[in-house]
Amino acid sequence: MEDLWFASASEIARRITGRSVTAVEVAEAFLKHIAVHDRLLNSFLNVMTDQALDAAQRVDDALRAGRPPGPLAGVPVAVKDLIDIAGMPTTAGAHRRFHTMAHEDAPVVTRLRDAGAIIVGKTGLHEFAYGVTNANPHAGSVRNPWDRSRTPGGSSGGSAAAVAAGFCAAALGSDTGGSIRIPASLCGITGLKPTYGTVPTSGVVPLSWALDHLGPLTRTASDAGLLFSVLAAIPRPAEEIGRGIAGLRIGIPRHFFWEELDPEVEAACRQAVGTLAAQGAAVLDVVIPHAQDAGAAATLILSVEAAAYHERRLREHGEAFGEDVRAKLDRGLFVSAVDYILAQRARAFLTREFIQTLRGIDVLVTPTTITPAAPLEGSDQTASSLAMSQEYTRFTYPFNLTGLPALSVPCGFTAQGLPIGLQIAGRPRDEATVLRVGHTYQQVTEWHLRRPTLD
């Protein structure tokens, strides 16, 4: 069964529906893997052993009765622990004072269950999803499977580490400033932030109502498409994804998005663009004149909305927050209404500018992050946490601000063995083309097939 730990979600579902293996056998294999190896990574906050085995049994019973089990039949999936699962605590990676007990599933969890997925547990995150390091003073830090002394990225670091380590075939994450794509890049997996509003966010602890997105972390772009179709309740764009990219126009925004890069990141991403060109895509230089302003506008909007959500907690139990998160929330309390409105106007302006650029091309391609995974040591200090947030969100924030779909796929490794990610972004609600580019790239490369060593 160990061969399934790193199998794709679609392959696991095929084997279960083909009756070559049972859903219970698959669940048992993944749960054993978690029990033996997650002590090294701390990717899970709660493992749902009994619930997972019961759900797997229901999938097997459905198959024996001739009932369709769903497109994710028996696929082990993890859920970031700010998403409600009935009967489970929602911790948001926070102090126990702020934990709540969920009485019903979030809509995305209901959709996963209806599709036959087996939820194996809830994953760790940066406190209240407000940071990129996953250094957490309450639940302990999640560690990168490729180098346990380094950050997995965040805030969905537990979800990314769990997929990369083979603890599940897919996981749910949230993305407010890059929190799916950054850990996907640093952990060597695939992560999709869909178009704003396509996946429901109710039943989820918010960070910023204007910027929050939910999406999947998977091994492949094809699996990301499968999970996205379930989460968004739309038909799977399978035929579109497999069409190839001959004739597609890929825009390279060299200003801002390709500046100040780590040399190894730049080399890997440039090579990836060459690979896409070799598959028949036209590569064009484009300019997005005000792209550099996106981060400041997004940061301000996020800080105000996060402070608004947590205002009562800050007032009554401010001492229960971690130092770095408290500093960010305090900052949001002192932003003027004028500045918030100006940031929202900048958001509208930049959204128009990005969409105008995409009228002449099909997708934008950039590095996902400036650098690979940084050391965890010291990343819990407020100054370091703030600096890392600014650095790692540089290329991801613009697509939260504009709400455009964006995908990160593995495109190489550094000399130290650290993963590098390539970001592909597209027009509103055109996840199919974004996934098509990612899938085509993965058809002719093997970066997404590499596995970390856990022993």
Burial class (CB in 10 A: 0-12, 13-18, 19+), 314: middle
Is the peptide bond preceding residue 155 cis, with omega within 30 degrees of 0? Answer: yes
Rounded CA gap, 41 and 148, in Å? Answer: 7
Residues 10, 156, 174, 179: which is the catalytic one? 179
Residues 8, 155, 303, 385: which is the catalytic one? 155
Q: Is 10 a catalytic residue?
A: no
Q: Kindly report the three-state secondary structure assignment for every residue of the chain.
A: CHHHCCCCHHHHHHHHHCCCCCHHHHHHHHHHHHHHHHHHCCCEEEECHHHHHHHHHHHHHHHHCCCCCCCCCCCEEEEECCECCCCCEECCCCCHHHCEECCCCCHHHHHHHHCCCEEEEEECCCHHHCCCCCCCCCCCCCCECCECCECCCCCCHHHHHHHHCCCCCEEEEEECCCCCHHHHHHHCCEEEECCCCCCCCCCECCCCCCCCEEEEEECCHHHHHHHHHHHHCCCCCHHHHCCCCCCCEEEECHHHHCCCCCHHHHHHHHHHHHHHHHCCCEEEECCCCCHHHHHHHHHHHHHHHHHHHHHHHHHHHHHHCCHHHHHHHHHHHCCCHHHHHHHHHHHHHHHHHHHHHHCCCCEEEEECCCCCCCECCCCCCHHHHHHHHHHHCCCCHHHHHCCCCEEEEEEEECCCCCEEEEEEEECCCCHHHHHHHHHHHHHCCCHHHCCCCCC
**356 Cβ contact list (under 8 Å, min separation 6):** none
Task: Dig out the tokens for 10 from the structure.
Answer: 């679609």
Residues 80, 122, 193, 328: which is the catalytic one? 80
Rounded CA gap, 187 and 181, in Å? Answer: 10
For residue 224, the number of C-alpha atoms closer than 13 Å in the C-beta half-sphere is 36
Neighbours of 435 (CB within 10 A): 30
Rounded CA gap, 455 and 442, in Å? Answer: 27
Neighbours of 427 (CB within 10 A): 19
Q: What are the catalytic residues?
A: 80, 155, 179
